[in-house]
A and B are shown apart, each in its own frame.
Chain A
Amino acid sequence: MATEQTRGLGRILIAPAVIALFVWMIVPLVMTIYFSTLDYNLLNPGSESFVGLENYFYFLTDPAFLASLQNTLVLVGSVLAITVVVGTLVALLLDQAVIGRSIVRLMVIAPFFVMPTVSALVWKNLLMHPVSGLFAWIATSLGLRPIDWFAEAPLLAIILIVAWQWLPFATLILLTALQSLDEEQKEAAEMDGARAFSTFFHITLQHLARPITVVILIETIFLQTVFAEIYVTTGGGPGLQTTNIAFLIYSQALIQFDVGTASAGGLVAVVLANIVAFFLVRIVGRNLEA
């Protein structure tokens, strides 16, 4: 039980973090709200004027907006699905008796340390290139037609790259969880004549519920702002096929230098992210309670 004394101390201790984050949030936020009501283009300085909600109207009625919203959801959803499912499978595999497990684990963890720009460049030029990429060479050697990734399935290509980067994260969390699962529990279940499948569903998967929640929450936050992979590979195209919200705001802010609309877009993104977070916490939140 927390006493009055610890409560008071608790407030003092939490204060620096709350104040720092509050300042960090509120100052740019107020400026962003202010800018979002201005006609403010960096390339036309001195012509700033109040335009009310025009920037919001403009951002929300942009034909690219709905497409990018959809792409964002598909991207986040697919990467989550891939990393959780494949991550679970890889974790299950590594949980078996494996000679040289620590080396295998090193190889699996490595993609997490690679900067997004670098991994996008490597995938685009060295692997997925339809003429000189390694995948194309493999396909041709097998007598197949090489896939033209960034034209035929651009969003899928981006999803694969991003999933590759986040797979280690999911695998590691799930692997550690599995390793802590009591060996006796599993054995007991097997003794009882439970088959492998029902062991998996009743014991293993249940045990993984909480780590999976953590994977989903953290990845969702980072995946909503995926940008470098798109910027390096497709530039949001062809058409709008790979434009997500983060890329759309980028093009407002740093290609058109339209600070007003970019600010409005940023605020729209915050609202959307909060809606997603709200539902996410409702769905998986109970796993967060101690």
Chain B
Amino acid sequence: MARQPSPARVLTTTVAAWIVGFLIFFPILWMVLTSFKTELEAFSTPPSFLFFHWTTENYAAVQGRSDYVHHAINSIVIAGGSTLIAMLIAIPAAWSMAFAPSPRTRDILLWMLSTKMMPPVGVLVPIYLIYRNFGLLDSRVGLVAVLCLGNLPIVVWMLFTYFKEIPKDILEAARMDGATIGKELVYVLTPMAVPGIASTLLLNFILAWNEAFWTLNLSTSQAAPLTVFIASYSSPEGLFWAKLSAASTLAIAPILVLGWFSQRQLVRGLTFGAVK
């Protein structure tokens, strides 16, 4: 273990870190607090921080109006399904790029990223027409497909950087021992890649969860996820900021819990293997 910092220094950095953390978190905290106020209090000056009349009426109103569970399940299915399928397609591809690179690998990677550069709104009408013709409008399958393809480049890229970190000599050794490629993949590579795969999975789950353009425009009710739920609370005629806060809190609650729970994987995932 390295040198022990002095208590005074620990105190200083602790206080500073907590202040910074609190400031960054504050808008979310404020939103959660607002969700427990009445509409009138939500807008009063000077603002009341904790000493207001706490109420859950906003949550009751939100639940009475929209089927939160239905939307939340759709969100889980769509975000989860698209992420899993993207992984199934991306793992072999990333493996191939990392361990059997061809001179074009780098170009292919960059090309894949470039497919994310089209602003979605520019291709809305073509996609809408295609979806109409295939009967995919307002279907979970359709949303899974669009989000899966949308995130595929990021998934491939993340996995590629993870796989590249795996020392090649281990594979060589396995090959010497006569392992086939299939066995090599299952018994040697996969265990080493699990942390990378898990973190990729989680990051893409979050990206798919927050995706608000395609989900809003290609679904109506049957397949509508939480982004549609939010769209029914933003800027109505009237004063509904406390209700909006309640709906927002509900919409981010599952992902916040999941995200906090899986923080460590996420930290690794986000680094893209930039850190050894």
Contact = CB atoms under 8 A, between A and B. Distances in A.
A164 B24 contact: yes
Contact of B122 (A98, A167, A173, A266): A266
Interface of B: 2-3, 5, 9-10, 13-14, 16-18, 20-22, 24-25, 27-28, 30-31, 34, 42-47, 89-90, 92-93, 95-97, 99-102, 108, 110, 112-127, 129-130, 149, 152-154, 156, 164, 181, 206, 209-210, 212-213, 226-227, 230-231, 234-235, 241, 244-245, 248, 251-252, 255-256, 259-260, 263, 266-268, 270-272, 274-276
B93 A137 contact: no
Contacts of A196: none
Given A269-B119, A281-B110, A107 B25 contact: yes
Contacts of A18: 93, 108
How many A residues touch the partner, as a band? Answer: 35 or more
Contact of A274 (B22, B28, B117, B259): B117
Interface of A: 2, 5-7, 9-11, 13-14, 16-18, 20-21, 24-25, 27-29, 31-32, 35, 42, 90, 93-94, 96-119, 121-123, 125-127, 131-132, 134, 136-137, 141, 164, 167-169, 172-173, 175-177, 179-180, 183-184, 187, 210-211, 213-214, 218, 221, 224-225, 227-228, 232, 245-246, 249-250, 253-254, 259, 262-263, 265-267, 269-270, 273-274, 277, 281, 290
A209 to B, nearest CB: 9
Given A17-B92, A221-B117, A100 B14 contact: yes
A2 B181 CA distance: 12
B227 A104 contact: no
B124 A254 contact: yes
Contacts of B3: 187
Contact of A214 (B42, B90, B274): B274
A116 B129 CA distance: 27
